[in-house]
Amino acid sequence: MSEPRRIRRVRRDDAISLNIRTVSKTKSVRRADISRQVQNDYGASIAGGVAPLPTPYDISHIVRLYSISNMLKQCIAAKVTNVGLCGFEVVRAHPDIEMDPAEKEELESFIESPNSDQSLMTLHSLVVQDKETFGFGFFEVVRDRSRRVSILRHAPAMYTRLCPKHEENVLVTYDVARGPRVVNVREYKRFRMYVQIVSGQIVYFKEFGDPRKLNCRTGRFESADYPVSPEDEATELVHIRYNSEDAYGVPCWSNQIPSILGSREAEEVNLRYFEDNTVPPMILSVAGGRLTNQSWLSLQSALKNQNIGKERQNQIMLVEAVADRESLDEKGGTIQLKVDKLTDSRPSDALFKDYDEANQAKIRSSFRLPPVAVGLSQDVTFATANVSTFVAESQVYAPDRASYDEVYNKTVVTGRQGLGFKTVKLRSKNPSITNPEILLKALTALNVMGGLTPRGAQISAANALRTELPLYPKEGEKGYEPWMDQPIALTLRDLVKNTHIEQRGKDQDTKNTEDDGNVSPRQPEHGQE
């Protein structure tokens, strides 16, 4: 067994410090602070650990359901728009620590260009698209020569598969602040590999944070007898999924597959009705005779598939009949041709309409989306639309954005295995859903209660209008005045008080003039010239 590889640990009070080393699974280490849980791999281990695990659903079947559903695509698009396309901003990592200008600038540039042809918002939207469609998504982390995170790229979930967790255990030791003290935490972790198969080409990836070197072509880890060259070293993947019993992750709409298929069948039935004209508009009956052979052949040809649907409409057919037997006066029997309309037997509207609407509601409820989010606006008022949007934002979109922010910050931004920033982090931008009238009433109430400052009103207006307004100078900056951070009610009170004092002075002068009756300009007293 090769000597365990060690990474020097640096203790910092404001950061998490990691100490990683590889330990064979056969080595027994007993400590009280190590978790005793069994790490479920959701599948049997395979020798070498290079064979991928099967997905919970056939990926091609998922793609087909996505393409044929009349509601699934709209629901996924709503999640991508409100979760993945809101953009990111740089905020403080800790409320009481100012942002480092250098870290802020670097993170802003990383948000703008995580790779050569995409922004982080575009990359993130692709990950959200995969997660909502397949139940899982990936993005690739590429490091430079100094082992620092350099590039992020989207890894298509359609071609990426999970391998069983490697048998080798990795001891991870990290320091976490627990109040005034720093606690050293130790745990063992089994990392897994990922494999991508495209057009017969196979490429392996390692899990993010795995300190070992992996050959991207063979799927073998580096050892004393098997070195891995820099050009063959595998990059890392971050796996984002829906929580489920499967290692991949199951999409939230998987329980509505019968509804998707049922709605599709109902639509195809309606389509076949228009194409085949299933119920004829009328029926022809012959009494006292029979159709001629030519008329019978013409009628049969018209009812066959070569002239169906709209191509058969408004066609004229000549039908000729002959008597079955001759009459006594040798003039032939009486032949009656009767046409009965079947319009009442034909449906006036689409079939299974209520069934289809119920299926759409089920699919939409699996995403917990209101009707207005997917373009259904019937029977929706302004008030109900506002309430629905607010509930969707607070219960669906905002929690999803927070979960993605945690993944990016824990892995790439603030994590020691990532960029390792200490003062800044990412945060998804929130869309403005506040009604201006409601905001105005809220600000007025706060002003009456003395809880609104000019700076606070300025910030609220900027957030509501989704624009950048020039901010007041902060304390200590040029142009700062105390009233900027003073409640407006107190400022108005002081202004009224000073006005009253001035008015009282003016009233006393007027009173003196009225008492002595002297309206001429007053002469200065002796000594005041």
Same domain, residue pair 167 and 246: yes
Residue span of the structural domain in which 90 resides: 70-103+252-279+349-427
Binned at pLDDT 50, 70 and 90, residue 12 comes out as: very low
Provide the pLDDT for residue 15. 37
Q: What DSSP state is assigned to residue 53?
A: P
Instruction: Give domain status of residue 119, yes or no.
Output: no
Angle formed at CA 299 by CA 293 and CA 300, multiple of 5 degrees: 90
pLDDT, tens only, 476-518: 888 888 888 888 777 777 777 666 655 555 555 666 665 665 6
Q: Are residues 75 and 39 in the same domain?
A: no
111 within some domain: no
Would you place residue 384 in the very low, low, confident or very high pLDDT band (cuts 50, 70, 90)?
A: confident
How much is the mean pLDDT over the chain? 79
- Structural element, H or E, at residue 139: strand 136-143
Same domain, 64 and 159: yes
Query: 6: pLDDT confidence band, cut at 50, 70 and 90?
Result: very low
pTM above 0.85, yes or no: no
Domain count, the chain: 4
Q: How many residues appear in the chain? A: 529
Assigned domain for 1 exists = no
Return the closest-CA partner of residue 154 out of 210, 233, 235. Answer: 235
User: What pLDDT is stored for residue 455 in this prediction?
Assistant: 84
Domain end among 368, 400, 427: 427
Within a domain: 30: yes
What digits encode the pLDDT tens for the residues 263-318? Answer: 999 888 888 777 666 555 666 666 667 777 777 777 677 666 555 555 555 555 55
**The pLDDT of residue 507:** 57
**Which domain-ending residue is among 345, 363, 391?**
345
Amino acid at residue number 126: L
Whether 158 and 301 share a structural domain: no
DSSP for 351-378?
Answer: TTHHHHHHHHHHHHHHHT--GGGGT--T
* Residue where a domain stops, chosen among 371, 400, 427: 427
Please give the single-letter amino acid code of residue 491.
Answer: T
Comparing 110 with 474, the larger pLDDT belongs to: 110
Residues 232 and 265 reside in one and the same domain: no
For residues 170 and 218, membership in a common domain is answered with: yes
- Cα 273 from Cα 290, distance rounded (Å): 31
Q: Is residue 221 part of a domain?
A: yes
pLDDT for 243-253, tens place per residue?
A: 988 999 999 99
* Cβ-contact 149, 141 below 8 angstroms: yes
| Helix, strand, coil tally for the chain in percent (to 5) | 40, 20, 45
Is 89 within 8 Å of 107 (Cβ atoms)? no
Cα–Cα distance between 204 and 66 in angstroms, integer? 28
To the nearest 10 degrees (0 to 180), the angle between helices 120-134 and 59-68 is: 100
